[in-house]
Homo-oligomer: A and B are copies of this chain.
Amino acid sequence: MTPAPLAPGATIGIIGGGQLGRMLAMAAARLGYRTIILEPDIHAPAAQVANSQIVADYDDPAALAQLADFCEVVTYEFENVPVAAVQWLESHVPVRPGSRALEVAQDRLLEKTMARELGAETALFAAVSSRSDLDKAIVTTGLPAVLKTTRLGYDGKGQAKLVRPEDADAAFAAMQDQMAVLESFVHFECEVSVIAARGLSGEVRAFDVAQNVHRDHILHTSTVPSTLGADARAEAVRIASAIAGHLDYVGVFAVEFFAVRDGKRHRLLVNEIAPRVHNSGHWTEAACAISQFEQHIRAIAGLPLGGTERHSDCVMENLIGADIDRVPDLATESDTVLHLYGKSEARPGRKMGHFTRISPRTEQF
């Protein structure tokens, strides 16, 4: 039996106060829900649009107790929330998605192992906890390869590339004694992602696959439709569904893939799983009736999932740091949807907003 959906006026707790929390809070408001943000920074983007904020660390016991008291359901907007905090919350209030997804997403080894077990391809990989492990790992993956800390990687932090065996010392040192995983370098044609949601009923719905371009390890653009064929798109959704089912996941999540050319088709290798709304899904707000943010709120509120059809083709582009100065020009474009995050200081590398250029659909499928 699926529980009844949250009634309008119910309160949703969101752990984390960044732009993803901000967009979730706005989507919750459009569905008549109230939101409380747990976030230590009083200037956080999400707090500006939420009903209230608990100003405390993500694992502050008194704050977590308040969140459990005030909220009918709790979610999180980033995957580096302490697992223990979510586990404690789970014993007091529904947390969607739960701690299991968080554990897997926080550990690249668990993540890749799970993907393989579910029949998905990944890059070749091997665990590295010592300098001698690294030499053995190179035999498994070949070179070039990328050494990554298993935990807390984000936007290219905690990564080192190995081209020749003599790069091993510097790469290992860069891990600063953290557990790491060596991954073979994938000669991909493009990077794609699928944003999907799994509802309380177990139903899974996916948005169209987006094709992503990164710059300096930060997402630069997402384009929909992608250049993938129908088979590869279906495979991306199949993998996403398997992952969500395996984790008994509730909410929106992203699976990022490397797409490797294989004759006329593409093979997909799982790169990362994000247990949350995702930058490569921001285009859904401009090109779909229901955005990834509303879809997440629907899922965790126990509402039916929304339709995922696109009404438009689109290209989403991030505004990083000083890109914010492009806003006046972008505002002159008729078919450009702007979305800024209310951050006062435009530091280099900081995501300040994004925009999505939409155009009539060129393709029906």
Which residues does chain B contribute within 8 Å of A22, judged by CB atoms?
29
- CB–CB A48/B31 < 8 A: no
**Segment at the interface with B among A91-99, A190-198, A257-265, A328-336:** A328-336
**A311 in complex: contacting residue of B311, B328, B338, CB < 8 Å:** B311
A313-337: contact bitstring with B at CB < 8 Å (1 yes, 0 no)?
0000000000010011001111111
**Which residue, A49, A309, A352, has most C-beta atoms of chain B within 10 A?**
A49
**Chain B residue at smallest Cβ distance from A334:** B307
- CB–CB B335/A8 < 8 A: no
**Chain B residue at smallest Cβ distance from A356:** B289
Which residues does chain B contribute within 8 Å of A340, judged by CB atoms?
8, 30-32
Which residues does chain B contribute within 8 Å of A26, judged by CB atoms?
26, 29-30, 49
- CB–CB B331/A34 < 8 A: no
Shortest Cβ distance from residue A250 to the other chain B in the assembled complex, whole angstroms: 16
- Chain A: residues with Cβ within 8 Å of the partner, total of 48
- CB–CB A48/B30 < 8 A: no
- CB–CB A342/B289 < 8 A: no
Q: Assess whether A78 is interfacial by the CB under 8 Å rule.
A: no
**Cα–Cα, bound, A138→B309 (Å):** 55
- CB–CB A9/B289 < 8 A: no
- CB–CB B311/A360 < 8 A: yes
Shortest Cβ distance from residue A20 to the other chain B in the assembled complex, whole angstroms: 14
**Chain B residue at smallest Cβ distance from A346:** B8
**Which residue, A9, A22, A32, A304, has most C-beta atoms of chain B within 10 A?**
A32
Which residues does chain B contribute within 8 Å of A63, judged by CB atoms?
none
**Which residue, A34, A48, A343, has most C-beta atoms of chain B within 10 A?**
A48
Q: Assess whether A5 is interfacial by the CB under 8 Å rule.
A: yes
Q: Assess whether A303 is interfacial by the CB under 8 Å rule.
A: yes
**A29 in complex: contacting residue of B307, B312, B342, B358, CB < 8 Å:** B342
Which residues does chain B contribute within 8 Å of A225, judged by CB atoms?
none
- CB–CB A338/B29 < 8 A: no
With known contacts A9-B344, A311-B311, A289–B335 Cβ distance under 8 A: yes
In the complex, 24 of the A-B residue pairs with CB atoms within 8 angstroms, ordered by the A residue number, are A5-B328, A8-B324, A8-B340, A8-B342, A8-B353, A9-B342, A26-B26, A29-B342, A31-B338, A32-B327, A32-B341, A32-B342, A32-B352, A49-B51, A289-B336, A289-B337, A289-B358, A303-B328, A304-B328, A304-B331, A304-B332, A306-B334, A309-B335, A311-B311
* Other 20 A-B pairs with CB < 8 A, given A8-B352, A309-B334: A5-B328, A5-B331, A8-B340, A9-B342, A26-B26, A26-B29, A29-B342, A30-B338, A30-B339, A31-B338, A32-B327, A32-B353, A33-B342, A48-B51, A49-B50, A303-B331, A304-B331, A304-B332, A311-B311, A311-B360
Interface residues of chain A, those whose CB is within 8 Å of chain B, are: 5, 8-9, 22, 25-26, 29-34, 48-51, 286, 289-290, 298, 303-304, 306-307, 309, 311-312, 324, 327-328, 331-344, 352-353, 358, 360
List the 5 closest pairs (A to B, CB-CB), nearest first.
A307-B334, A32-B340, A304-B332, A303-B331, A311-B311
